[in-house]
A and B are shown apart, each in its own frame.
Chain A
Amino acid sequence: MQRFFSCLFFLMACNAIYADGFESDPKAVTLLEQATHAANDLSYSGMFVYQHDGQMDMMNIIHGQVNGIPFTKIESMDGQRREILKKNNKLSCVFPDKKLVQIEKETTRNFFPSIRWPNKDKYIDNYQVMLVGVQRVTGRSCQIVRLNPRDQYRYAHEFCLDNQTQLLLKESTINQSGVAIMTVEFSALNLGLNVSLNNFQTSYEHSKDWLHQEIKSVQVINSESNISLNPPPGFESLGVFKSVGNKGQNIEQEVFSDGLASVSVFIEPADSNQATERIESLKNTLSYYSAEKGGMKITVLGEVPVDTATRIGQSFVINRRDQKK
């Protein structure tokens, strides 16, 4: 009997450890879910700073709901002039220097501080979620939620959420060396302002006479991919998408995600003899890998460490039916 209870206790302990590895803080998980609603429901305006790769860019933002519809307007204060106008899922990007307006009628893009937080089940096995302290951002006290990766295949993230409203005030992506490789944070913030449609009009009156380009979403094919890949543990396929490249070539794009980070794998016919792999750490926390094998070109791109992108790319195998073609 003693032996039975000892084994039972041992199995329960193992299960507890295995289920969570390092246990996540439920309060931290709840805060992140609340941040999703805060960014959408609140009205606010301010300036935020985007720091990456040794440079800083400032943006002006105003967000609010008009007749129950969420509106956002973001203007760049540095570099090339650009203006983002978002009404629900319709996105207009105004480029005054190019006299160009790009329109996406059904965008899936999110811009800081808006987040579309995934279901806990999708990422809890890959990250330990915990509260790590309190910080002040733009004069407001906020709680720091840290997502620690459970292995070396992903980055860590820190989110500073306003204590009062749970609005995301600051976000950092941190590499394996503990260095923040990207940070976005408010430098000035006004909450609770009254907004109207006038706040979300373009600042460029003559943009209606400029060239308007409609960008349609990539076509989802949801079919089996012609290639096999072996992504690291925790990365699941979100589907296969199809598009046409700038040279008219068919491109298959399979997207993998661990709930937080995503990796796209592009497959297309090879048009050159690239004998060597190309591995790069790009800006905006992106890692890049490309190579050619069996007449096909594979490109891997994602917000993951370079080793992760390389591992996915090197696991590329063409399925037999594709070779017969």
Chain B
Amino acid sequence: MNIEQLSAWMDGELNRDLEEKILTNWLVDDSSAEVWNTYHVIGEVLREPDITIVDLSSRVMKAIELENIECSAVPVVDKMHSVYGSWKFWGIAASLLISLTGVGFLLSPPNPETKSLMLAQENSTPPVSHANIDLPQSSAYYVFLHHEVSPMSGFQTVDYPIAQ
């Protein structure tokens, strides 16, 4: 007996061929008829306007507690595999690569064969006041110019123009 087919037949959604199959089965198996009656009683009760609120929640919860739950091993989705396989990941990776390539071109050092340079034409990483100083690229250039001109700057710090 297929309960889903019975329910679909009640809702008028069952295939004609399957209807005949169910009726044929009734001739052999009475349990289908019992399910049929039960479903109709449930439907009429629910559609009855005079029926007051029926609290079935406690009975349902009890039934759930008593139900034997069978756990079966569910294959773990390989998340990494799914990420690598996603278009989104490849799009992000491509954007990052393009950005890094662009930054690399912007930061490329000057021609080392240049013998004499104007201070302002030094296109490599501008000299900074200390090897470990943590400055944005352009800020280091301003620091160098500042120390070149300011009267007290060089004194206050151990100041070295450092090529990079």
- Please list the residues of chain A having a beta carbon within 8 angstroms of any beta carbon in chain B: 48, 50, 52, 55, 57, 59, 74, 76, 79-80, 82, 84, 93, 95, 98, 100, 102, 108-112, 114-116, 118, 171, 173, 182, 184, 211-218, 238, 241, 243-246, 251, 253, 255, 257, 260-262, 264, 266, 282-286, 288, 299, 301-303
Q: Is the CB of A80 within 8 A of B131?
A: yes
- Please list the residues of chain B having a beta carbon within 8 angstroms of any beta carbon in chain A: 112, 114-123, 126-127, 129-135, 138-139, 141-143, 145-164
Q: Which residues of B contact A299 (CB under 8 A)?
A: 139, 142
Q: A246-B126, A264-B146 are in contact. Are A93 and B160 (CB under 8 A)?
A: yes
SS class, residues of chain A in contact with chain B: strand
Given contacts A241-B149, A255-B150, A303-B152, 5 further A-B pairs with CB under 8 A are A50-B157, A216-B118, A246-B122, A282-B133, A284-B130
| Chain A proximity of B60: nearest CB distance (Å) | 58
Please tell me which one of the listed residues A215, A246, A262, A285 contacts residue B157 in the complex, with CB atoms under 8 A apart. A285
Q: Which residues of A contact B163 (CB under 8 A)?
A: 93, 95, 98, 100, 102, 213
Q: Closest residue of chain A to B121, judged by CB?
A: A244
Q: Is the CB of B158 within 8 A of A59?
A: yes
| Chain A proximity of B148: nearest CB distance (Å) | 6
SS class, residues of chain B in contact with chain A: loop
Q: Which residues of A contact B147 (CB under 8 A)?
A: 109
Q: How far is the CA of A58 from the CA of B56 in the complex (A)?
A: 82
Task: Name 11 A/B residue pairs within 8 A (Cβ), A-sorted.
Answer: A57-B158, A76-B160, A102-B127, A102-B161, A109-B159, A116-B152, A215-B119, A215-B122, A246-B141, A255-B146, A299-B139
Q: Is the CB of A283 within 8 A of B134?
A: yes
Q: Closest residue of chain A to B127, judged by CB?
A: A102
